[in-house]
Structure 1
Amino acid sequence: MMTFKVVDPGLFSTVQDAGRTGYQAYGFSPSGAMDYRAHKLVNKLLGNDENAAVLEMTLYGATLEVLKETVIATAGAEAEIMVDDVSYGSGMPIRIMRGEMLKIGKCQSGARIYLGAAGGFDVPEVLGSRSTHTRSAIGGFKGRTLKAGDVLRTVGGEFQNDMKKIKPFEEDDVIRIIPGQQYGRFGDDARDQLFNSEYEITKDSDRMGFRLSGPELAAEDGHDVLSEPTQLGSIQVPKNGQPIILLNDRQTAGGYARIATVALADIPKLVQKPPGEKIIFKEIDVDEAAEEYKKELERIGSDEYFEPLTDFTSVRRRTALKITKLMGV
Structure 2
Amino acid sequence: MTNGSGDLHVLSAGALTTVQDLGRPGYAHLGVPRAGALDPAALRLANRLVGNPEDAAGLEITLTGCALRLTRAATVAVTGAETDVRIGPRPGDTGRPLAVPAGAVLRVGPARRGVRSWLAVSGGIDVPPVLGSRATDTLSGLGPPPLRDGDRLPLGAPTGPPPGVDLTVTPPPAEELRLVVRLGPRQDWFTSAALDRLLGTPYTVSSLSNRVGARLAGAALPRAVTGELPSEGIVLGAVQVPADGQPLVFLADHPTTGGYPVIGVVDDVTPLAQARPGTTVRFHGPQR
TM-score, scaled relative to structure 1: 0.81
Which of 216, 220, 225 is matched with 2:220 structurally?
A: 216
Please give the per-residue CA displacement for 1:248-285, whole angstroms capped at 9, x wherever unaligned: 11111011111111113xx2212210222121111116
Q: In 2, distance between residues paired with 1:21 and 1:149?
A: 31
> Are 2:145 and 1:144 aligned?
yes
> Are 2:244 and 1:236 aligned?
no
**1:225 counterpart SS class:** coil
Which of 4, 7, 10 is matched with 2:8 structurally?
A: 4
Query: Quick check: 2:51–2:163 contact (8 Å CA) kept in 1?
Result: no
Q: In 2, distance between residues paired with 1:276 and 1:114?
A: 23
Q: In 2, distance between residues paired with 1:98 and 1:159?
A: 17
Query: Quick check: 1:223–1:238 contact (8 Å CA) kept in 2?
Result: no
Against the structure 1 CA distance between its residues 232 and 246, is the aligned structure 2 distance closer, same or farther, given a 3 Å change threshold? same
Match of 1:154 in 2: 155
Match of 1:268 in 2: 270
Structure 2 residue runs of 5 or longer lacking an equivalent are: none
Match of 1:176 in 2: 180
As a proportion of its length, which structure holds more helix?
A: 1
Match of 2:229 in 1: 225
**1:76 counterpart SS class:** strand
Match of 1:167 in 2: 169
Q: In 2, distance between residues paired with 1:223 and 1:233?
A: 24
Match of 2:123 in 1: 119
Match of 1:79 in 2: 83
1:272-287 equivalent positions in 2, closer than 5 A: 272-284=274-286
Match of 1:296 in 2: none
**1:39 counterpart SS class:** helix
1:42 Cα shift? 1.3
Which of 180, 196, 207 is matched with 1:203 structurally?
A: 207
Which of 49, 56, 60 is matched with 2:53 structurally?
A: 49
1:238 Cα shift? 1.2
1:122 Cα shift? 0.7
In the alignment of these two chains, the number of paired residues is 281
Q: In 1, distance between residues paired with 2:133 and 2:170?
A: 29
Q: In 2, distance between residues paired with 1:197 and 1:54?
A: 37
Against the structure 1 CA distance between its residues 224 and 112, is the aligned structure 2 distance closer, same or farther, given a 3 Å change threshold? farther
Structure 1 residue runs of 5 or longer lacking an equivalent are: 289-329
Match of 2:40 in 1: 36
Query: Quick check: 1:3–1:69 contact (8 Å CA) kept in 2?
Result: no
Against the structure 1 CA distance between its residues 239 and 33, is the aligned structure 2 distance closer, same or farther, given a 3 Å change threshold? same
Identical residues among aligned pairs (%): 34
TM-score, scaled relative to structure 2: 0.93
**2:230 counterpart SS class:** strand
1:90 Cα shift? 1.2
Q: In 2, distance between residues paired with 1:31 and 1:147?
A: 20
> Are 2:96 and 1:95 aligned?
no
Which of 22, 26, 30 is matched with 1:18 structurally?
A: 22
Query: Quick check: 1:180–1:234 contact (8 Å CA) kept in 2?
Result: no
Moved over 6 A (4+): none
Query: Quick check: 2:205–2:217 contact (8 Å CA) kept in 1?
Result: yes
Cα-Cα RMSD = 1.6
Q: In 2, distance between residues paired with 1:65 and 1:133?
A: 24
Against the structure 1 CA distance between its residues 166 and 10, is the aligned structure 2 distance closer, same or farther, given a 3 Å change threshold? same
1:245-264 equivalent positions in 2, closer than 5 A: 245-264=249-268
1:223 Cα shift? 6.7
Against the structure 1 CA distance between its residues 224 and 40, is the aligned structure 2 distance closer, same or farther, given a 3 Å change threshold? farther
